[in-house]
């Protein structure tokens, strides 16, 4: 749970900006988009394998 406390002199715009930064840093939006639609377990495994293959390829080339 994200909590943004108002400091003296903070405007509502600055609080919204702080909140947005914390949401992005925690990856809440990415997680929400990932869970928006159901994925079959086979699709999840395929994505994991694809990610591992990509990581292995980039590590090998650098």
Report phi then psi at 3, rounded to 5: -125, 130
Number of Cα atoms under 13 Å in the Cβ half of residue 44: 7
Beta-carbon neighbour count of residue 23 at 10 Å?
Answer: 14
Q: What is the pTM of this model?
A: 0.60
Tens of pLDDT, residue by residue over 9-58, are 999 999 999 999 999 999 999 999 989 999 999 999 999 999 999 999 98
């Amino acid at each position: 749970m994200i909590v943004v406390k108002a400091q003296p002199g903070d405007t509502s715009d600055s609080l919204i900006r702080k909140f947005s930064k914390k949401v992005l840093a925690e990856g809440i939006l990415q997680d929400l988009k990932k869970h928006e639609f159901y994925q079959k377990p086979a699709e999840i495994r395929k994505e994991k394998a694809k990610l591992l293959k990509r990581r292995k390829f980039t590590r090998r080339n650098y």
